[in-house]
């Protein structure tokens, strides 16, 4: 069995994650590192099943527990879809701002990003709505729900 990491966690990301976990009184253990590497290697939101398939060294029970810890610490985000399986990805503040296409038939989730101009326009429209109600916006989440090309 290979002990090579699936993807490399660079120094900056390593420090960010270590810091987030430390604030939750947790450590960036080998098992948690393997999970982050699997998510990095996957490059898109993954179910726990897909994560376990990516790295056969991961044990299901500890992977579940570690995902809960990583999510609570703000390292990992859980995307809830219509099917029974939540998808996990590295939190946006550790990667980059993006949106999701969620298939309501198979539950598949695909990342997409808007170009800068479209993103700025969307952000301005959302800030306007929020300002009208005295709401202070910190970030937005926008996922499209529909049917993917495989299910269509």
Stretch that binds Zn ion, among 20-28, 32-40, 68-76, 109-117 (CB under 5 A): 109-117
Q: What mask of x and - would describe binding to Zn ion in positions 63 to 102, judged by CB under 5 A?
A: --------------------------x-------------
Stretch that binds Zn ion, among 34-42, 61-69, 105-113, 128-136 (CB under 5 A): 105-113
Residues in the chain: 152
Residue 33 or residue 127: which is nearer to Zn ion going by CB?
Answer: 127
Listed residue (88, 81, 85, 67) closest to 21, CA to CA: 67
- Tokens encoding 39: 């998510």
- Tokens encoding 19: 């810091």
- Closest residue to Zn ion, based on beta-carbon distance: 111
Residue 55 or residue 89: which is nearer to Zn ion going by CB?
Answer: 89
End-to-end Cα, the chain, rounded Å: 39
Stretch that binds Zn ion, among 12-20, 34-42, 48-56, 110-118 (CB under 5 A): 110-118
List all residues 6 or more positions away from 42 whose beta carbon is below 8 Å from its beta carbon.
Answer: 50, 51, 54
Q: Does 108 bind Zn ion (CB under 5 A)?
A: no
Listed residue (61, 57, 97, 59) closest to 77, CA to CA: 97
Q: Does 111 bind Zn ion (CB under 5 A)?
A: yes
**CB 2 to Zn ion: min, Å:** 27
Listed residue (120, 102, 121) closest to 44, CA to CA: 102
Residues that bind Zn ion (CB under 5 A): 89, 111
């Amino acid at each position: 069995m290979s002990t090579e990491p699936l993807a490399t966690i660079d120094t900056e990301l390593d420090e960010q994650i270590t810091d987030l976990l430390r604030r939750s009184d947790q450590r960036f253990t080998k098992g948690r590192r393997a999970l982050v590497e699997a998510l990095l290697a996957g490059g898109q939101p993954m179910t726990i099943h897909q994560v376990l398939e990516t790295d056969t060294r991961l044990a299901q029970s500890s992977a579940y527990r570690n995902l809960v810890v990583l999510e609570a610490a703000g390292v990992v985000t859980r995307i809830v879809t219509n099917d029974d399986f939540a998808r996990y990805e590295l939190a946006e503040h550790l990667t980059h701002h993006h949106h999701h296409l969620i298939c309501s038939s198979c539950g598949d989730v695909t990342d997409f990003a808007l170009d800068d101009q479209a993103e700025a326009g969307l952000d301005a429209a959302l800030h306007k709505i929020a300002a009208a109600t005295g709401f202070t916006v910190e970030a937005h989440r926008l996922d499209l729900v529909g049917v993917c090309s495989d299910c269509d």
